[in-house]
Structures are given as structure tokens and as C-alpha cells.
Structure 1
Amino acid sequence: MIVEWIRHSLTPAPRPLRQMGYLRELIATDARRRRNRRAWQPHLRETHRVILDCAARLDRWDTVVVVGAGLASDIPLEPLALLFRRVVLVDLMFMPSVRMAGLRMTSVELMPGDITGVVHAVRKLPIGSPLPPTRAAIPERDRADLVVSCNVLSQLPLLPCRWLEARHGIAPDMLEPFRRRLIADHLDALMGAPCPVCLVTDTERQEVTADRPTAAADLLHGIEPEVEGAAWWWRIAPWPEESWLHDVRHRVVGGWLRGYAIRDELVPDVSPDAHPADDHGHGGAVGAPRLSSRG
């Protein structure tokens, strides 16, 4: 904790993002990864494999846009920098190690930005005002040959909603539509890309005692991405990281984004012809909704 406090004090960050906890969360995530290096390694290795597998199936390698690159530990940065002429990393802010990588690799560009469009609006929201509209955006999306959303989808609502709960006194259940909108809008922005899209995201949290799940939570709040690729478990908090009573693991899916479901409605990919053929996946559709598609 002392090391984390020192890093938080010394790491440059915009004051609004520091106030909302974004720097603290990046440092805490990096510290947890270091403490649980062995438990996290299979997840990081599989994430790298999925991203590189998608990249290898393209027929053009000019620009890749990677969303969720503030730490970049789950991104195969050096292979991507060798494969693509431009590697555009997108996040609200970047840790110094990522900035150094950007200086070292000439093909890597850092683009800080709010992909939800709500962070600063939430911070400045007057008490009692309606919640701001979401304005999802992905820089350089329309010029990309591949867009990657890497382990960021479930994180989008966390800090804005935490701020609204603490500063505005809004009950967590009242923010559920806002959470769902942030997640769905990011998926819409991804599906609007004129190129293939690789999505890696955790979808479910489980507490596990003696190899048996004892509690579970939906990390995407009723939204189910249809991903053609792989699925695995990420031991994000092995005992006793979070509790002396249980481990915590997340279910992760990764591969081509094909669409997503909300309740009983499947939203199809807006540009199916831009994506690789179905036989390019790894093990078929993973995490696809068990609901009939809109016809």
C-alpha cells in the first residue's frame, strides 16, 4: 500500500481524472497483477493470443486501434508494432511505462480520450440534474484495419457510477440503466467500425470456495456480446487477495465481435461483410446469446 501511495503521488495525471479515481484504479490494478503474477499469467497469455490471432487473419496491416491500453500489460504491444505501420493506443490516461513504450516504438501512438463521453460531464454534473447522455467514440476507428477493445467493457460504468453514488447520493440500482447504456453504446461504437473488431472482455464474476462457485455476478448487467472465439477463466483475486474465504475468478471471452443481446433482442453486426468468415474463429461462437435473433 505504501508503494501504491508513492506511485499515486509521483505519477503525473490530469487533476479531474485523479479526483475521480482513474489513476488510483490503474495503479491498484497493476499492483494486483504484480502480486498475483502466476495466477494472472494464463489470462494475459490467452488475451495476447486472441489479439494476435485476429491480427494475423487480416489482409491489410496499416492501422490497429487498441482501446483500453492504459497499462498495456494485456496487449502484445511489440508484435503489433512489428506487424502494423501504426498502433494507436486509446485510454483516458497512460501509465509511464506505456508512455516510454510509445517513445521507444515509432509506430506506437498514444491517444488519451474518453471513449464514453461522460466522464467530465459526470464530474461537473450539478446535484439533482439528469444524468448526461453517453457519447461513445473511438478515435481513428474509421481509418483502422482492426479495432481491439481489450478488457475495458465491464470497467466503463465503474468510476462514473461510483462518483454519482458518493457525490450525488444516487442508489446503485437507480444507476443500472446508465450502466447498461454505457456498455451498449461502446459495443455500438465498435460495431460501427468499417473493419473487423476484436473484443476481449470479462462477463461474469464468481466467488469460488473449494473449487465450487458460491456466488456470481453479471459484469455486463444483462448485455451479452456475441463473440466468435475463445473463453477462459481469469483468477483475478486468488485467496487471500480479496478474502480469506474464497478465490475470485472472472469468465472472459475473446475473439471477433458479431453482435450483442439486450434482454430478448439480438442486435446484429452492422457490417458483417467487413468481418472474416465464420470459419476463422477459434472454437465457434463463444458467449453468444441463447435468444433468437431479430429477423
Structure 2
Amino acid sequence: MIVEWIRHRLTPAPRGLRRMGYLRELIAVDARRRRNRRAWGPHLRATHSVILDQVAQLDRWNQVVVVGAGLLSDVPVATLALLFRRVVLVDVLFMPSVRLTALRIPSVELAPCDVTGVVEAVRTLPRGAPLPPSRPVIPGLADADLVVSCNVLSQLPLLPARWLARHHDTDEAALLAFRRRLIADHLHLLMEAPCPVCLVTDTERQEMTADRPTAAEDLLCGIVPDVEGATWWWRIAPRPEELWLHDVRHHVMGGRLRGVHMPRDGAARPGAAAPADQPGVTGGG
């Protein structure tokens, strides 16, 4: 915790993003990855494999755009830089190690961007004002030969929704609709891309006791991406990382995005526990 506090104090970041917790979350995720290298290894390798599998199916390798590249641990950037003339990394904030990577590799370009278009609007929202509309954007989308949304979809609404709950007392129903809108709009923008889209995202959180799920949560608010590829379990927080008596794992899908299924009744799909099979990559999606 002391190391994380020092990194937070020393790492440069825009004041608004720092106030909303983006730097703190990025540092916390990086610290958790370091503490749980063995547990995270299969997930990171599976993510790399899915991305490179989509690359192998292309017939042009001019530009790839990767959304969610703030840490780069789940992005095979060195390989992408060998294959593509231009690699555009997109995230709201980048760690200094990623900036150094971009300096070392001429074909890598950083594109700091709030892909939801709501972060600053949420931070400066007057009390009592309606929630801001989603304004999704992805730099370099029009010229891309491949777009990768990498382990970011479920994260897009978290900090804006947390800010609204803490500073505006926004009720749960409004927050659910807000979260769903940010997720859906990102997916719909990806579907409009003039090239193949590789989506890697966690979809469900499970708390595990003795290899059995005891609690589950839908991370995409009832929205179901149609992905042709693979699925696997990510041991994101082996006990006691997050819970003293429970492991936490996330279900992940990765592959080519083919469509988006929205909830019909406007309510989030219940997080029913899936069978407690062993973690690993499986076919399908």
C-alpha cells in the first residue's frame, strides 16, 4: 500500500482524472497483477492469443487500434509493432512504463482519450442536472485494419457511476441505465468500425468457495456481446486478495465481435452462477 501511495503521488496525471480515481485504479490494478502473477498468467496469455489470432486472419496490416492499453500487460504490443505500420494505443490514462514503450518503438502512438465521452461531463455535473449523454469515440477508428477492445468494456461505467453515487446520490435504477448505456454505446461504435473488431471482456464475476460459486454478478448489465472465439476463467483475486474466505474469478470472452444482444425487459440479466468447471480456454463464445 505504501508503494502504491508513493506511485500515486509521483505519477503525473490530469487533475480531473486523478480526482475521479483513474490513476488510483490503474496503479491498483497493476499492483494486483504483480501480486498475483501466477493466477493472472493464463488470462494474460489467453488475451494475447486471441488478439494475435484475429491479426492472423487479416489481409492488411497497416493500422491497429487498441482500446484499454493503459498498462499494456494484456496487449502483445511488441508483436503488433512488428506486424503493423502503426499501432495506436487508446486509454484515458497511460502509466509511465507505457509512455517509455511508445518512445522506444516508433510505430507505437499513444492516443489519450475518454472513449465514453462522459468523464469530464460527470465530474463537472451541477447538482440536480440530468445525467450527461454518452458520446463514444475511438481515435483512429476510420483508418484501422483491426480494432481491439481489450479488457475494458466492463470497466467503462465504474468510476463515472461511482462518482455519481457519491456526489449526486443518483439512485440505483438511474445508475443501472447509465452503466448499460455506456457499455452498449461502446459496442455499437465498435460494430460501426470499417474493419474486423476483436473484443476481449469479462462478463461475469463469481465468488468461489471450495471450487463452488456462492455468489455471481453480471458485469455487463444484461448486455450480451456476440463473440466468435474463446471463453475462459480469470482468477482475478485468489483469497485473501479481496475476500478472506473466497476466491474471485471472472468469466471472459474473446474473439471477433459479430453483434450485440440487448436485454428485452430493460432489466439487468440476473447473475446466475455458472457450473464450477476448471479454469481454462474453451472454444465457442
TM-score w.r.t. length of structure 2:
0.93
Check if 1:223 corresponds to 2:223: yes
Q: Give the distance between the partners of 2:101 and 2:76, measured in 1 at CA.
A: 12
- Deviations along 1:199-252, one digit per CA (max 9) or x if unpaired, are 000000000000000000000000000000000000000011011110000000
Secondary structure, counterpart of 1:206 in structure 2: strand
The residue type paired with residue 38 of structure 2 is R
1:171 Cα deviation (Å)? 2.6
1:170 Cα deviation (Å)? 1.3
1:116-135 to 2 correspondence within 5 Å?
116-135=116-135
1:263 Cα deviation (Å)? 1.6
Match of 1:261 in 2: 261
Q: Give the distance between the partners of 1:210 and 1:83, measured in 2 at CA.
A: 44
Q: CA RMSD in A?
A: 1.0
1:40-51 to 2 correspondence within 5 Å?
40-51=40-51
**2:188–2:260 Cα contact (<8 Å) kept:** no
Match of 1:213 in 2: 213
Match of 1:11 in 2: 11
Match of 2:92 in 1: 92
Unpaired runs of at least 5, structure 2? 266-281
Q: Give the distance between the partners of 1:43 and 1:106, measured in 2 at CA.
A: 28
Check if 1:24 corresponds to 2:24: yes
Match of 2:159 in 1: 159
Q: Give the distance between the partners of 1:182 and 1:263, measured in 2 at CA.
A: 14
Q: How many residues align?
A: 269
Match of 1:238 in 2: 238
Check if 1:197 corresponds to 2:197: yes
Q: Give the distance between the partners of 1:169 and 1:264, measured in 2 at CA.
A: 27
Q: Give the distance between the partners of 2:28 and 2:15, measured in 1 at CA.
A: 18
1:283 Cα deviation (Å)? 3.4
Secondary structure, counterpart of 2:116 in structure 1: coil
Check if 1:138 corresponds to 2:146: no
- Deviations along 1:59-85, one digit per CA (max 9) or x if unpaired, are 000000000000110000100000000
The residue type paired with residue 72 of structure 2 is A
Q: Give the distance between the partners of 1:36 and 1:283, measured in 2 at CA.
A: 26
Match of 1:150 in 2: 150
Secondary structure, counterpart of 1:176 in structure 2: helix
The residue type paired with residue 81 of structure 2 is A
**2:204–2:218 Cα contact (<8 Å) kept:** yes
Q: Give the distance between the partners of 2:251 and 2:3, measured in 1 at CA.
A: 30
Q: Give the distance between the partners of 2:38 and 2:74, measured in 1 at CA.
A: 14
1:173 Cα deviation (Å)? 3.5
The residue type paired with residue 249 of structure 2 is R
Match of 1:170 in 2: 170
Match of 2:59 in 1: 59
Secondary structure, counterpart of 1:129 in structure 2: coil
Secondary structure, counterpart of 1:45 in structure 2: helix
1:174 Cα deviation (Å)? 2.7
Q: Give the distance between the partners of 1:85 and 1:170, measured in 2 at CA.
A: 45
The residue type paired with residue 99 of structure 2 is R
Q: Give the distance between the partners of 1:184 and 1:95, measured in 2 at CA.
A: 27
Secondary structure, counterpart of 1:245 in structure 2: coil
- Deviations along 1:2-21, one digit per CA (max 9) or x if unpaired, are 00000000000000000000
1:169 Cα deviation (Å)? 1.2
Q: Give the distance between the partners of 2:50 and 2:197, measured in 1 at CA.
A: 12
Q: Give the distance between the partners of 1:222 and 1:263, measured in 2 at CA.
A: 6
**2:231–2:283 Cα contact (<8 Å) kept:** no
Q: Give the distance between the partners of 2:262 and 2:149, measured in 1 at CA.
A: 19
List, as ranges, runs of 4+ consecutive aligned residues in structure 1 with deviation greater than 3 Å: none
Check if 1:184 corresponds to 2:176: no
Q: Give the distance between the partners of 2:253 and 2:36, measured in 1 at CA.
A: 21
**2:134–2:181 Cα contact (<8 Å) kept:** yes
The residue type paired with residue 164 of structure 1 is L
Q: Give the distance between the partners of 1:263 and 1:149, measured in 2 at CA.
A: 21
The residue type paired with residue 96 of structure 1 is P
Q: Give the distance between the partners of 1:90 and 1:163, measured in 2 at CA.
A: 23
**2:184–2:223 Cα contact (<8 Å) kept:** yes
Unpaired runs of at least 5, structure 1? 266-281, 287-295
Secondary structure, counterpart of 2:283 in structure 1: coil
